C-alpha cells in the first residue's frame, strides 16, 4: 500500500517537473528570495601552480528583483557568511575565516549589483560592488539564466541561475602568501534557485 501511494504521488508530480521556460512571457515578475537548500557558492584557487584547491561557503543568502521581460532592470544582492567558509578541514577553515578573511571584523561578504547587461536570451552580466575583508571593489558576475517554472514541491514560481566571478585576492587583502604558493586569482562559481515571494501566481 505504501509503495502504491509513493508511485501515485510520483506520477502526480511528473507534470511539475516540466522543462523550465526561458520565455519572458511565461515567467512572472516580482521579488525573489534565494532557496538556500538549492544553492551553492564554491571557490577555487591555484595551489603551488599544480592544481585548483576548492572550497565553498555554507552560509549564503540573496534577493532578486527580477522581471523576465526587462532583465536589464534586475537588482541583485548576495550575502555570504564569512565564517561559513568550508574546505573539509575544520582547523584550516578557522584559519581562513579568522586570519585570511578576518570574519570578526568583516562578518559578511556582500555583492550588490548596480547594472545588468543582457547578452542574449539566457546570458548576461551583473556589474556591482563586492565588499570583502572591509574592502570594496568593482566586480562582474557572468550569469547564465536556466529558466523558470512553477515548483510544485515549494508551491511557488522558481527561477534558476548559474554565475561565475573572478577576483584578485590581493585587492581584498586576503592572505599574504606569494602567488607561487597560493594563486592570486580566485574563481567563484554560484548555482542558485530563487523562489517568488508573495502569493503564488
Residue by residue, pLDDT tens for the chain (201 residues) are 554 554 444 444 545 456 888 876 678 889 999 999 999 999 999 999 999 999 999 999 999 998 877 888 999 999 999 999 999 999 999 999 999 999 999 999 999 999 999 999 899 999 999 999 999 999 999 999 999 998 988 899 999 999 999 999 999 999 989 999 999 999 999 999 999 998 665
pLDDT score at 18:
62
pLDDT score at 125:
97
pLDDT score at 70:
86
pLDDT score at 77:
98
- pTM, 2 dp: 0.87
pLDDT score at 9:
44
pLDDT score at 8:
46
Closest C-alpha to 23, from 148, 131, 158: 148
Amino acid at each position: 500500500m505504501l509503495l502504491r501511494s509513493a508511485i501515485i504521488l510520483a506520477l502526480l508530480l511528473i507534470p511539475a517537473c516540466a522543462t523550465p521556460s526561458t520565455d519572458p512571457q511565461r515567467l512572472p515578475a516580482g521579488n525573489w528570495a534565494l532557496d538556500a537548500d538549492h544553492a551553492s557558492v564554491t571557490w577555487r584557487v591555484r595551489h603551488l601552480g599544480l592544481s585548483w584547491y576548492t572550497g565553498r561557503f555554507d552560509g549564503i543568502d540573496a534577493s532578486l528583483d527580477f522581471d523576465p521581460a526587462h532583465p536589464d532592470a534586475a537588482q541583485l544582492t548576495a550575502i555570504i557568511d564569512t565564517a561559513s567558509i568550508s574546505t573539509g578541514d575544520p582547523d584550516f577553515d578557522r584559519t581562513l575565516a579568522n586570519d585570511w578573511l578576518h570574519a570578526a571584523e568583516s562578518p559578511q561578504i556582500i555583492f550588490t549589483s548596480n547594472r545588468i547587461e543582457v547578452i542574449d536570451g539566457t546570458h548576461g552580466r551583473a556589474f556591482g560592488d563586492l565588499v570583502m575583508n572591509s574592502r570594496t571593489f568593482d566586480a562582474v558576475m557572468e550569469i547564465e539564466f536556466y529558466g523558470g517554472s512553477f515548483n510544485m514541491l515549494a508551491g511557488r514560481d522558481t527561477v534558476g541561475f548559474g554565475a561565475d566571478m573572478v577576483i584578485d585576492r590581493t585587492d581584498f587583502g586576503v592572505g599574504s602568501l606569494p602567488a607561487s604558493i597560493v594563486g592570486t586569482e580566485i574563481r567563484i562559481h554560484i548555482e542558485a534557485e530563487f523562489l517568488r515571494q508573495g502569493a503564488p501566481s
